[in-house]
Amino acid sequence: MQKRILVVDDNQAVRLIVRSTFEMQGPFIVHEASDGLEALERAKSLNPDVVIMDLSMPRMHGLDASRQLKKDRPPVHVILFTAHKGVLTEAETSEAGVDAVVSKSEGLETLLQRVEELLQPVH
């Protein structure tokens, strides 16, 4: 069964690269949003399994959007994919409902691995 991923980043090139990677790697349907507010709107109709969220974006910060997504759709998995991983504490990300944080410098392979881990069926 295809899993739905929502890629949220204000940088169009980043969204395109992440989207292309996931579409090539597996049974994923990938959608995009350019900021946290758009992500909340798109999530209402898309009901994504995973949201890959940038941290620093206009209109709505990634942590605020993550917190609201988890409130609205508790089963959704949220991965922060950010260049600012070092500025976050585990308490901040945990409180916002973030399931994993991946630095953009760790690359797409690490991001793909985290998504696959989160989507594994729980026995």
Radius of gyration of the chain (CA): 13
**Using an 8 Å Cβ cutoff, are 8 and 53 in contact?**
yes
Structure confidence by residue, pLDDT tens digits, 71-80: 998 899 999 9
3-state SS, residue 80? strand
Q: How is the chain split into domains, by residue range? A: 3-118
Structure confidence by residue, pLDDT tens digits, 28-80: 999 999 999 999 999 999 999 999 999 988 889 899 999 999 999 889 999 99
Encoded amino acid at 24, one letter: M
Return all residues near 99 (Cβ < 8 A) that are at least 6 apart: 77, 78, 79, 118
Architecture (CATH level 2) of domain 3-118 = 3-Layer(aba) Sandwich (3.40)
- Size of the chain in residues: 123
The predicted model gives 85-96 an average pLDDT of 84
